[in-house]
Structures are given as C-alpha cells and as structure tokens.
Amino acid sequence: KRQGFEDNNLIEGFRISGLGQLIEAGVESDRLVVFGA
C-alpha cells in the first residue's frame, strides 16, 4: 500500500508497480504505449 492505493487497482491481472519497471519496459521493448500522460 502506498498513499492509500492497492497495487491491484486496475483491471484484473494488471497492477501499478513503479517508475523503474516502466523505464525498463521502454528500454527492452520495441514500442511503449502510455495512456493518460
């Protein structure tokens, strides 16, 4: 829990985990789609 949010507050099977993992996904993938930026 962080700032009152659960890590499973998205659609089932998805979660918000951190900026580090977002950066890693961008580096390792061919494309990265971000909604709500």
DSSP assignment string, 1-37? -BTTB-TT-SSTT-----HHHHHHHHHHSS----S--
Residue 31 has pLDDT above 80, yes or no: yes
**Each residue's pLDDT tens digit, 1-20:** 555 655 555 567 666 677 77
In a domain? residue 37: no
In a domain? residue 26: yes
Domains: count for the chain: 1
In a domain? residue 36: no
DSSP helix/strand/coil, 2: strand
Give pLDDT, residue 20: 78
Give pLDDT, residue 5: 57
In a domain? residue 13: yes
DSSP helix/strand/coil, 5: strand
Give pLDDT, residue 21: 79
Domain of residue 24, residue span:
1-30
pTM score over 0.85: no
Start-to-end C-alpha separation, the chain: 23
Give pLDDT, residue 28: 86
In a domain? residue 35: no
In a domain? residue 22: yes
